[in-house]
Amino acid sequence: MNSYHLDHLQYLETEAIHVLREVAAEFERPAILFSGGKDSICILRLAEKAFRPSEIPMPFLNVETGHEFPELIEFRDRRAKQLGARLIVRTVDEAFAKGLAAPTPGQISRNQLQIPVLLAAIEEFRFDCCIGGARRDEEKARAKERFFSFRDAFGQWDPKNQRPEIWNLYNARLNQGENMRVFPLSNWTEMDVWEYIQREKLEVPTIYFSHSRECFRRGGQWLPVPTAHADTTKPDPYAGARPKPSEAVKSLVVRVRTIADMISTGMIESPAESVDDIIAEVAAARVTERGTRADDKASEAAMEDRKKAGYF
Amino acid sequence: MPSRFSNPDLRSTGSHPIELLRFNTCGSVDDGKSTLIGRLLYDSKSIMEDQMEALERSADITGGGQINLANLTDGLRAEREQGITIDVAYRYFATPRRKFIVADTPGHVQYTRNMVTGASTANLSIVLVDARLGVIEQSRRHTYIASLLRIPHLVIAVNKMDLVGWSENRFREIREEFESFLPLLDIKDVKFIPMSALNGDNVVEPSSHTPWYAGPTLLGHLESVHIASDWNLHGFRLPVQWVNRPNNPRDPKLHDFRGVSGQIAGGVVKTGQKIMVLPSGHRSTVKEIWTYDGPLQEAFCPQSVTLVLEHDIDISRGDMLIGSENMPGMNTDLRARVCWMGQRPIQCGKKYLLKHTTQTVQAVVTCLENRISMDNFSADTAATELAMNDIGEIRFRAAKPLIFDGYANNRMTGAFILIEQGSHHTLAAGMLLPPTELVKAEYEDFTI
């Protein structure tokens, strides 16, 4: 019977495929959140495995803060095209224009502002389910997530009153206006994601590999110097996020370990040039992936608060 | 920081298959479950520096300077404030020998439903006992649930041994107390380990306080316990999840493709094998086991596959494909043990939604047979109510026949959940009793 044995990646894969097919079967209008980041890259390969030779039966959705790494956007668009998928992009700037969101005074990061934009997109397209690449090992509020995470009509997560999730029998039932967030990678670790990328020979955006980049030190992190402000007829989208005279700019050999946008992503100094190098680096790492995310450092319950409001 | 596991050579790098062990921890309030997991992560060097910094920060604020390992798993604000675990928290760590998924499940009576959640997918359960208190109702309940859910391995972690002076006699007393009721249950493998999670004795490192204990440490046991396949490999079962019809007008090859997608819930399937579709009874042969990575000659539980059949027969979600051996049951009138999780007690005569494999049907509870007493695990047949956290046996009638196995025989085809109509709350975890009669291979040519 020994040949009938799955290794840990095969086990995680079959679990995730089962989840994706449950979504296709149980929901009327599901979408996949695809940012171009490493986790959602795995989700797309799993979707190919779940649904081929058919088309992936759901569109891709991405919410832009307006501060994205250009490499990520290029990769996202190209990958969606390769897969023949419909990619829907909604932006914080559009939401400002439509009055769906308002800038927070004194707050440079637009991370929080993705919440109303996402909820508006869910309403606009009447999505009843959004598939995300979040993993339980990322953060301790996420460690409490279900595979099928119920959100009420306001998009809110109620961590104290979650539906029990027993075996692989997912309760996908919703009433009008409610929706579900589904996380097929719930049981994956950062290491599993990279091992899967290695095994499946998946392309990832170049910023995951070491490159030289102008950075400056702020809040204990190396932040990338944002792209130059070209259109001076409009206000600088990176106002406040550019290095101050007191913050020396250095050219460093860096890469990203996790990607938010240019304002919230700390670069790590790394010589890793290949997926193999990254796996060796993750194995030896002494800080968590999210240790480089400014958005999580706000307070101990930063993630919990954002999730309750409708964030992933 | 020197570490056994941060050496890349010792980590899984995908070059060799590594086994995955899923376990859950349960115990009563303050038995030290979260501390134990914190200790496992800490001593196996799975806690990262930024997590340690966060712990130290919160220790300065709330812990009077003492690092509280429980803060690693108690992720919600209310949990940290009240010093309790509200919801199942999942943790992940790896040693050179295995990868682990840990479900930290709460001990309060009102959160027993979360224990069932965490335990339902586990290979192994750790029941924590406070050495000062010994066996209490929660210990019995958790041991019973582990048995009910057919978790193959059980560890009784006798914790806080430092507070009873590392007394071997106390350890033996507790062990004997457990052994007095274990024969009433259905657990094959039980291990007793004396420990102090707070100080790390016998968790990862052997303790110098227990010269009288010759067994392994907890981590040593987790790394070496033989997890023979938990999956049923006898009797092919494929609950149809999704019918794959590309209907692609541009690609004539795909125009006629029709596949049956699902996760194999039992047994093995081979190309050329005869199958039957239930409940319709239609028969066919497996033409191809289609996967994204190319066709397979055979596939097994729990792989996710797409089968292409020789004949164009009517198949839809909720149907079950089976092989010709080890037939399942097929019935609308069923008996099951349930763990009730709803706020309001179970109501006989009431209709619920029932999800079993990939099928959701209406079901009416016809009769409450008994309620299990946690004192002696006896069945109280006079019981008239099953309230939240109660376990008992029910009869019910489903609007469509279920194709099923007894839960003891197959955890995937023997399990179901009940959902409240309207609110859509998940109300119960159900485990079907074995079928009283099996599907017959009615057709003569349906044999190999």
Whether A166 sits inside 8 A of B415 (CB atoms) is yes
**Contact present, B151 and B124 (Cβ < 8 Å):** yes
Whether B302 sits inside 8 A of A14 (CB atoms) is yes
In angstroms, the Cα distances linking B1 to A284, A286, B5, B43, B79 are: 11, 9, 11, 12, 30
CATH number of the B8-224 domain? 3.40.50.300
Structural domains in chain A, sorted by start: 8-201+301-309 (3.40.50.620), 206-295 (no CATH)
User: For residue B170, how many other CB atoms are within 10 A of its CB?
Assistant: 18
Query: Which two tokens mark B197?
Result: 């999670």
Letter for the amino acid at A158? Answer: D
B368, B373, B374, B375 alpha-carbon torsion, rounded to 10°: 180
In angstroms, the Cα distances linking B245 to A265, A281, B295, B321, B376 are: 42, 43, 17, 18, 54
Reported ipTM: 0.92
Q: Which chain A residues in 125-164 lie under 8 Å from chain B, judged by CB atoms?
A: 136-137, 139-144, 159-160, 162-164
Q: Which chain B residues in 138-177 lie under 8 Å from chain A, judged by CB atoms?
A: none
pLDDT tens-place string over residues B292-311: 999 999 999 999 999 999 99
Angle, helix A190-199 to helix A38-51, in steps of 10 degrees: 60
Cis peptide before B206 (omega within 30 of 0): no
Given this chain, do its domains B237-322 and B329-432 carry the same CATH topology? yes
Residues 6+ apart with CB under 8 A from B436: B329
Q: Nearest CA to A14 among B412, B444, B92, B225?
A: B412
Cis peptide before B183 (omega within 30 of 0): no
Whether B417 sits inside 8 A of A171 (CB atoms) is yes
Q: Which chain A residues in 205-224 lie under 8 Å from chain B, judged by CB atoms?
A: none
In angstroms, the Cα distances linking A23 to A51, A130, A180, B242, B243 are: 11, 9, 10, 10, 13
Q: How far apart are CA B129 and CA B87, in angstroms?
A: 20
> CB-CB: which of A25, A136, A291 is closest to B48?
A291
Sign of CA dihedral B176, B178, B184, B186: negative
**Contact present, B288 and B308 (Cβ < 8 Å):** yes
A291 touches chain B (CB under 8 A): yes
pLDDT of chain B, 448 residues: tens digit per residue: 333 333 333 333 444 568 899 999 887 767 777 788 888 887 777 777 777 777 766 655 444 455 666 666 655 666 666 655 567 788 888 888 899 999 887 666 556 777 888 889 999 999 999 999 999 988 898 899 999 999 989 999 999 999 999 999 999 999 999 999 999 898 889 999 999 998 899 999 999 999 999 999 999 999 999 886 667 888 999 999 999 999 776 777 777 899 999 999 999 999 999 999 999 999 999 999 999 999 999 999 999 999 999 999 999 999 999 999 899 999 999 999 999 999 999 989 999 999 999 999 999 999 999 999 887 889 999 999 999 989 999 999 999 999 999 999 999 999 999 999 999 999 999 999 999 999 987 644 444 3
Going from N- to C-terminal start, the domains of chain B cover: 8-224, 237-322, 329-432
Right CATH for B329-432 from 2.40.30.10, 3.30.300.30, 1.10.760.10, 1.10.287.130: 2.40.30.10
Give the CATH class of B237-322: mainly beta
In angstroms, the Cα distances linking B314 to A56, B38, B45, B281 are: 23, 52, 54, 10
